[in-house]
Amino acid sequence: MRYSATLRVLGSSAINGISGWFRLYIAFIIAGKVPDLALCLGFSFVVYAVYTLDRALKSKEDEVNRPETNDSDKNTILFIVSIFLVTAISILFIKKVSPLAALIPFAIGFLYTKGLKIGSFSIKFKQGLGIKNIVVSFTWAFTILAFIYNYTGNYLLSFFIFIFFFFKSFINTVLFDCKDISGDSLAGLTTIPVYFGEKRTGIILQLLNSSSHLFLTASVLSGLVEFDTIILFYSWIAGSAYISLYANSRKTIFRSIIVHGEWTHMLAFRNLAIQLSRSVFHNS
């Protein structure tokens, strides 16, 4: 039983890690650079390590939301997490990127799960309406910029890349809060879905998705910044679709595959669109 629970914890973050690889790959494309595959691998390792750490250091709501992992071997999981983190840091050293790009999200991940208490002062990022969503979104948007910092010199473009990944991450974290409504309610956490309910949460997310993409589209059309329009278009449409599907507490494996896997089919759609456009241009 313990062996099985440990494997469940280690395997539960695999999709997150794979998603991380494609996220950084797309960030390179948006920045107009050839993707560095080693850095993409390093980023995926950081993502995997942070999310696996969160599952290993279970909080009260996790015991309700993921009871099948309660008997996992924490020491084994932490050892595996350490290997992934050290490997990611080694890649950053080789690529001359600050190791803080890996250590900062790892530290924030620990504070997110366990919190910090010094005397009468305490802080835990999972507390407060929308606080954890903002923290997670800021962390990953900032980390993506830190990984590709040496490949960009355009601060305005960096700002728009940050905006893009911040709102995508914010929406996705709220969607996953939707499936944890019961556990979060029992733990006394006032998440956005718990506070607003499923229907209003869906409306809020659709507004955020449309407004952020309208802002980016207007910036591109005005010539303020160059941004991959295929990615922007697909992100907008796909975001609207999976918000409609998953802004609810329904339990389904497809939520993780579709939401975390968005970056994979986004890249596939972009490649297909480019191939079709080249084919049409060649035939004409």
pLDDT in tens, 154-195: 788 899 999 999 999 999 999 988 888 877 777 777 889 988
Region of poorest pLDDT, from 24-33, 81-90, 134-143, 190-199: 190-199
Mean pLDDT (the chain) is 85
Helix axis angle for 100-113 and 74-94, nearest 10°, is 150
**pLDDT tens sequence across 30-86:** 998 999 999 999 999 999 999 888 887 765 555 555 554 566 778 888 899 999 999
Model pLDDT, residue 69: 52
The proportion of the chain whose per-residue pLDDT surpasses 90, expressed as a percent, equals 47
180 near 248, Cβ under 8 Å? Answer: no
Q: How far apart are CA 77 and CA 258, in angstroms?
A: 26
Q: What's the whole-number mean pLDDT along residues 142-153? A: 88
Q: What is the rounded average pLDDT of the residues 262-275?
A: 91
State pLDDT tens for residues 90-127: 999 999 999 999 999 988 877 777 666 655 655 666 66
Does the CA dihedral 39-41-45-48 come out positive or negative?
Answer: positive
Structure tokens at 190: 């006032």
Instruction: Give the mean pLDDT of 237-249.
Output: 90
Q: How far apart are the first and last CA of the chain?
A: 63
Residues near 41 by Cβ (< 8 Å), separated by ≥ 6?
21, 91
Of 63, 84, 2, 24, give the one whose Cα is nearest residue 267.
24
Enumerate the domain spans of the chain: 2-283
